[in-house]
Amino acid sequence: MEAILKRAWELKQNLIDFVLDAEGELAVALEAYMAAGSTRDRYDIAQQNQLVDSFIVEGKVGERSPLDLFIAETDLQESDRILLENWRRTFTGLFEISQILPDGFDLINWLTAKHYTVKLNNPETLKDTAKLKPGEILLVRIAPVTDNYWIFSGSHILMGKLGKPKLAVAIGNFKQNHKKGLYSDAPELLEQAWQSVEQYHQDFTEFFGSDEVTLSGYHLNKKIGEFQEVITKKRLAEAGIDDSKSLDQIAEESGVDAAEIRAAATEMGADADTVDQMLGKPNSKMVMPKIDLPDSIKKVEQVTAISNPRWGQMFLPTYAPIKALLETEDWQSLPNSDKLIRNYLEDATINAFIWQRLAQTYPTQLEKVLQKVLALPDFNLQRDLEALLEEYNKSLEPALPEIASVPLHLHNLFQEAVTEVNKSKSKSSDKKKGAKGFKSS
């Protein structure tokens, strides 16, 4: 084992040197990858090292990764080649230290609840991790060295011991900053999450009769609430739960613990708050808690909701105006027309799918508008749109949408985090009332 760990360290150093010393296409690809990564909120030496490490496996030089190039261009023994090929499974995770070992750690990946035994394979890592404690959270990449053991693939970022609210925030940040690595060690979870997006889209089109609906913000908010209620009842039915009875009644009749029924219901996609409301309330029926759209959207005269089986659900308060612009020959006479087009390019919430949808519906007019607004008379929509979207940092491939289902352990964590935050707010509010002379009840 010691020989494998030592060789893994040597190969890793050679691999990093190969990437950092490269010229030509590989150097250009690394620079672009690092520039894209540096837009994240945190960017220090540890993150820089993590970006280089992820580039080795996830970066592209033409059709090949830097790891492919290293394997192809380096004289390697068969054992080295096998080890390097295994490093394609290297991934970034948000890990909790469950146990300190004499030569490493037992870790749990919070995103997937999978366990890993990590061995320390060099003095530098040994020194950097000497003060780590059980319960602390690490953002780090790990790489396999055998079927049972892993190593730290690069620098770790210590996040400390986190309460549930802060841990939920950290997981949310991870999902935002590491979209390509989400559930990367659990492809079955990723597949289920994508399937849930497709199912949501089917439910949306069935309920609204189309993949696109435009209403006032007030009415859309009400319809979305009704839609959520329909989905919850449907999921509960799929879980074998009679929505005319309380969970206590169902549990008593079936001889199954109510907590088990709640777990089954939420695992099928039912809303946990709704299920919890029914526990201990024999006369309660399934009622979806009210889901409000943001106030900024509820007050808009026209809001368009669009659903897609890959891109998820989008709420667009400016979709009706931009369609009107593209349906008007004298579009420059409309107020703020240039500003609206530029906003669609610059606003990160307007994704590539929306642009592709507009391009498919209004190809001629959209091309003319972009030629004028961007002062590019030779702009060709079919030829140049994708490059334009990439220039404005709009990915041409969808990341897993927010409406996707999450593993049950994450769902429970988010629910518990919200409960803790609300309790904290309530205590804070009570203290303020007391300070103003109100008598606490």
Is residue 99 a contact partner of residue 116, using CB atoms and an 8 Å limit?
no
Q: What is the dihedral of CA 124, 129, 131, 135, to 10 degrees?
A: 180
Q: What is the CATH number of the domain that holds 139?
A: 2.40.50.140
Cα–Cα distance, 64 to 434 (Å, whole number): 65
> Does 345 reside within a domain?
yes
- The ranges of the chain with pLDDT < 50 are 41, 268, 277-291, 435-441
> Does 356 reside within a domain?
yes
The pLDDT tens digits for 285-302 are 323 334 467 788 888 999
Q: Residue with structure tokens 């007391």?
A: 434
Asked whether residue 112 falls in the same domain as residue 83, the answer is no
Q: What is the pLDDT of residue 418?
A: 81
Q: Is 231 helix (H, G, I), strand (E, B) or coil?
A: helix
> Does 303 reside within a domain?
no
Q: What is the pLDDT of residue 213?
A: 96
Token readout for 349 is 């919430």
User: Could you say which of 162, 194, 223 is where a domain stops?
Assistant: 162
> Does 293 reside within a domain?
no
Angle of the 408-435 helix axis to the 164-177 helix axis, nearest 10: 130
User: Could you say which of 103, 135, 162 is where a domain stops?
Assistant: 162
Cα–Cα distance, 366 to 382 (Å, whole number): 11
Asked whether residue 102 falls in the same domain as residue 81, the answer is no
pTM equals: 0.80
> Does 65 reside within a domain?
yes
Q: Specify the number of domains making up the chain.
A: 3
Kindly list the distances between the CA atom of residue 334 and the CA atoms of 103, 123, 261, 321, 349, in Å, as whole numbers in the listed order: 68, 66, 56, 10, 23
Asked whether residue 48 falls in the same domain as residue 96, the answer is no
Strand pairing category for 312-316 and 212-215: unpaired
Q: What is the pLDDT of residue 248?
A: 63
Cα–Cα distance, 147 to 427 (Å, whole number): 49
Token readout for 146 is 């055998």
Cα–Cα distance, 137 to 184 (Å, whole number): 18
User: 3-state SS of the chain: helix, strand, coil percent to 5?
Assistant: 55, 15, 30
Asked whether residue 338 falls in the same domain as residue 365, the answer is yes
Q: Is 64 helix (H, G, I), strand (E, B) or coil?
A: strand
> Does 193 reside within a domain?
no
User: Could you say which of 346, 365, 391 is where a domain stops?
Assistant: 391
Structural domain containing residue 105: 90-162
Asked whether residue 28 falls in the same domain as residue 61, the answer is yes
Per DSSP, which regions of 58-121 are E strands? 91-101, 104-109, 114-119
Cα–Cα distance, 40 to 50 (Å, whole number): 13
Token readout for 175 is 């999902």
Q: What is the pLDDT of residue 288?
A: 35
**DSSP element (H, E) containing 84:** helix 78-86
> Does 326 reside within a domain?
yes
Asked whether residue 44 falls in the same domain as residue 69, the answer is yes
Q: What is the pLDDT of residue 428?
A: 60
> Does 14 reside within a domain?
yes
Cα–Cα distance, 213 to 301 (Å, whole number): 13
Cβ-based neighbour number of residue 12 at 10 Å: 22
